[in-house]
Amino acid sequence: MTFQKDPELNETKQLQHFTDFTGKRVLEIGCGEGRLTWRYAAKPAITIAIDPDRRDALRVATIDRPSDMEEKVYFSNALAEHLPFPNESFDLVLLAWSF
Amino acid sequence: MVHALDEIRRVLVTDGILIDLRPLENQWRVEVFSARETRQTGAMADLPAGLEDDHAANQAMAEGERNGWFFREKEELLSIHYIWDTASEMEEWIDAEWEGFVGLGEETRRATRSTWALGDADSRVRVEVKVLITRWKKL
């Protein structure tokens, strides 16, 4: 099956228009397999992407992680209701199709 | 959802930014398109569970605003396309992935199959999904 989601990249363009990711500490909630993550992940200082991982998505996301992003993009199994991070540890939170 | 927002507020620095990106049910257009033409064959049916999700998300964000947690800086509605090679592939995908949230009525199924089958050799099928993007600043 050939399936494409947003081949025009409208979502990515609008996301970049709405915020500057450069140098930021980013938390992405609901990353799934990292579809959106890879569209901005080159810019932040660090990205932590979380997902409840009901479909083994994080394994796929980690496999797809480019080698030059191993030190700056991390995936973790977590829920938005219980974020396993200290207070004030991110500059930007991205709710990716999560609510 | 409000508890999640409170958690987000906790981990964000002061003046930190929250970007909320989510689909918004709105009878998404179903189309058969080719290089030569585009024909609308129907619309997705908004289902109660999906509408309730949208409502709950809107309520949670409104409560976050009322509580003085976040300030809404900017909001826009954009369109993104989901594209399949054939009508049957679209039906199979939607039935599996969107079950319970948005539906594909019989009339739209029939019209899409027929329009695709009789269309140009390069005809494909797409749904135009509406996505709401909002930029919030932590107060």
Q: How many domains does chain B have?
A: 1
| Chain A positions in Cβ-Cβ contact with residue B74 (cut-off 8 Å) | 18
- Label each residue of B125-136 as H, E or C: EEEEEEEEEEEE
Among the residue ranges A13-22, A46-55, B35-44, B88-97, the one predicted with the least confidence is A46-55
Name every residue whose Cβ is closer than 8 Å to that of residue A69 and which is 6 or more positions away in sequence. Answer: A41, A42
Q: Which of B28, B31, B52 is nearest to B130 (CA)?
A: B28
ipTM of the complex: 0.90
Are the beta carbons of A15 and B17 separated by less than 8 Å? Answer: no
Q: Is A26 helix (H, G, I), strand (E, B) or coil?
A: strand
Higher pLDDT, A65 or B63: B63
CATH C-level class of A20-76+92-99: alpha beta
Residues within 8 A of A (CB atoms), B 13-72 only: 13-14, 16-23, 53, 56-57, 60-61
Spell out the per-residue pLDDT of chain B, length 139, in tens. Answer: 888 999 999 999 999 999 999 999 889 999 999 999 999 999 999 998 888 888 889 999 999 999 999 999 999 999 999 999 999 999 999 999 898 889 999 999 999 999 999 999 999 999 999 999 999 999 9
β A73-77/A90-96 pair status: unpaired
Q: Is A47 helix (H, G, I), strand (E, B) or coil?
A: strand
- Label each residue of B14-66 as H, E or C: EEEEEEEEEECCCCCEEEEECCCCEEEEEECEECHHHHHHHHHHHHHHHHHHH
Are the beta carbons of B81 and A8 separated by less than 8 Å? Answer: yes
Distances (CA, A) of B107 to A5, A96, B42, B116: 24, 32, 8, 14
pLDDT at B105: 94
pTM of the model as a whole: 0.89
Q: How far apart are CA A97 and CA B23, in angstroms?
A: 7
Are the beta carbons of A6 and B81 separated by less than 8 Å? Answer: yes
**Domain housing B89:** 2-138
Are the beta carbons of A7 and B83 separated by less than 8 Å? Answer: yes
* B135 token code pair: 């930029």
pLDDT at A1: 67
Q: How far is CA B84 from the centre of its chain?
A: 16
Q: How far apart are CA B59 and CA B61, in angstroms?
A: 6
